[in-house]
Amino acid sequence: MSQDKWNELASINANHVKEKKGKFDYLSWTDAIELVETSGRFFNYELLPDTVFPDGSMEVRVKVQIDNETRVMWLAVTDFNNQAIKNPDAVAINKARMRCLVKGIAMHGLGFYIYQGEDLPMAGKEIYEDFLRREAENACLAYEWFMQLDEKGQEEVTNSAPSGKRSAFKAQLRDGVNKVHEVVDEIHENLILLLARDDEFGIRQIWNELTEFENELVRARMEPRTKQAIREIVSQGESNE
């Protein structure tokens, strides 16, 4: 693209349609398309094959053509906390594609100034819906994910519910976190019981089914001698495989 064409698109003032989510300004895909269409330029885009990584996370790609210039943009499918979503559903993928499209348009100049150094965050409603999706898929993993967020992240989730539902949602989160701790307490007690019975097979079976976060919580509850005894049993089982 010539410098003149870039400058023309970059000079389009999008401040009347840009929106703010948190501390970030952003341009919606509908407004971005309208602006480029009304600029009188030829516009076309193509969704390229997605890339799925070994951990289940995904990256989307979009090819954007304006006049005779084509640019490719890529974007990870992320949650509101800008963390990659493992095995994202169709909604999360679609949102990432449209965000990627807007950034592809910005690569031609239009709205570029808005996105300099900024990534598009989720709005409160999106955060709330993202958590409900996680909970519907696997409630235990959803609350484990919530518990691993930093203080700011947890606060954003807690305050993301629509007006009129926030108190109930806060109680729901609190109950979910308590349930995780109850489950971990039960796991810990079962391991202690199995250790007293010298049931090494039972210990290894339970231990190998723990999530990484459950493992961390269980070990935090153990006395040093208990932790060492179980570590030896699990290690012995691994060496015999």
pLDDT of residue 197 exceeding 70, the answer is: yes
Is there a single domain that holds both residue 98 and residue 197? no
Q: Which residues 6+ apart lie within 8 Å of 210 measured at CB?
A: 187, 218
Stretch 207-235: mean pLDDT, rounded?
89
3-state helix, strand, coil in the chain (%, to 5): 55, 15, 30
Number of domains comprising the chain: 2
pLDDT at 164: 87
With respect to residue 13, please indicate whether it lies within any of the assigned structural domains: yes
Domain of residue 229 covers: 139-240
Token digits for 112?
Answer: 């570029």
pLDDT at 12: 76
Is there a single domain that holds both residue 180 and residue 113? no
pLDDT of residue 122 exceeding 60, the answer is: no
Is there a single domain that holds both residue 175 and residue 232? yes
**Local confidence band at 199 (pLDDT 50, 70, 90 cut-offs):** very high
pLDDT of residue 14 exceeding 80, the answer is: no
With respect to residue 129, please indicate whether it lies within any of the assigned structural domains: no
Is there a single domain that holds both residue 8 and residue 108? yes
Which strand ranges, in their side-by-side order, compose the sheet holding 43-52?
43-52, 58-66, 69-76
Stretch 56-67: mean pLDDT, rounded?
93
As a whole-number percent, the residues of the chain with pLDDT over 70 amount to: 86
With respect to residue 72, please indicate whether it lies within any of the assigned structural domains: yes
pLDDT at 16: 63
Is there a single domain that holds both residue 52 and residue 148? no
Is there a single domain that holds both residue 166 and residue 84? no
Q: What is the pTM of this model?
A: 0.52
pLDDT at 201: 92
**Local confidence band at 144 (pLDDT 50, 70, 90 cut-offs):** confident
With respect to residue 134, please indicate whether it lies within any of the assigned structural domains: no
Question: What mean pLDDT, rounded, does the chain reach?
Answer: 84
Is there a single domain that holds both residue 84 and residue 168? no
CATH number of the domain at 62, please. Answer: 3.30.160.20
